Amino acid sequence: MMKSHNRGGGGENAVEYFLNQRRIHSKDAVEIIWSHAANRKAQMKEALNSDAHMIEADVLFGSQGSHEGQPIMAHPPETDSDNTLHNWLNEVLQSDKGIKLDFKSLSAVEPSMKMLVSMKDHLTRPVWINADILPGPNGSGTATIPNEFLHTVTSYLPDVTLSLGWTTNWLVNQTNNGKDYRSQTHSSPHTTRIMLRDSAAVPLAHSATISYTNSTADATTSKLR
């Protein structure tokens, strides 16, 4: 699923990168420690001081406050933050951590890609770009538009690892309105054809069937076997 690059620009394979640094002991991704939701400055600093190999944070387009009109580090329903993407990257790129950016709005993607390109010489580490590009069970209609997201990211940074997801709102101990992935049939499965280059990470726990043909991936929600 992941491929070695060694070309900079965020294309480094995470397992090989940390293995070469002797920070993990085998070619097993389970050894990689993650710090999630390192959005605000306090959370970011905690992650930077932790044993985590990879730091994940959420990016959206600021719509209010002093950071209106620029990418900020926040997870909906928040619309403001004490941390911008620019500041976040400046801090994290001084560390030895890998990066995963989870985009929560399409409007934040292109300005963020431009920012990353301006720092490309410093992206000598794994960089994962994530977005929920399809609606899953009980998912909202706010999934990031698939092809527009992918085209924007790969146009600016073709070597990063794409981490593609589905919006979900799983209701425990309830019937999920016929949208259970375990359903025997799907009257109108969500299907998209997306162009992928090199590395992609897909949340298979969400029961995605991915078939690769000539660098094209057909992503279709499917029943569990």
Q: pLDDT of 146-205, one tens digit each?
A: 889 999 999 999 999 999 887 765 444 555 454 444 443 333 334 444 445 456 665 544
Q: pLDDT of 118-151, one tens digit each?
A: 999 999 999 999 998 877 666 655 556 788 999 9
CATH code of the domain containing 133 = 3.20.20
Considering the domain boundaries, does residue 171 fall inside one?
Answer: no
Under DSSP, the state recorded for 27 is S
Considering the domain boundaries, does residue 4 fall inside one?
Answer: no
* Statement: the pTM of the whole predicted model exceeds 0.85: no
- Packed helices 85-92 and 41-48: angle between N→C axes, nearest 10 degrees: 20
Considering the domain boundaries, does residue 157 fall inside one?
Answer: yes
Considering the domain boundaries, does residue 40 fall inside one?
Answer: yes
Considering the domain boundaries, does residue 176 fall inside one?
Answer: no
Domain span including residue 112: 14-27+34-166+181-221
Strand 216-221, strand 191-195: pairing: antiparallel
Is the Cα torsion angle 172, 218, 224, 57 positive or negative in sign? negative
User: How many domains does the chain fold into?
Assistant: 1
Place of tokens 């109108």: 188
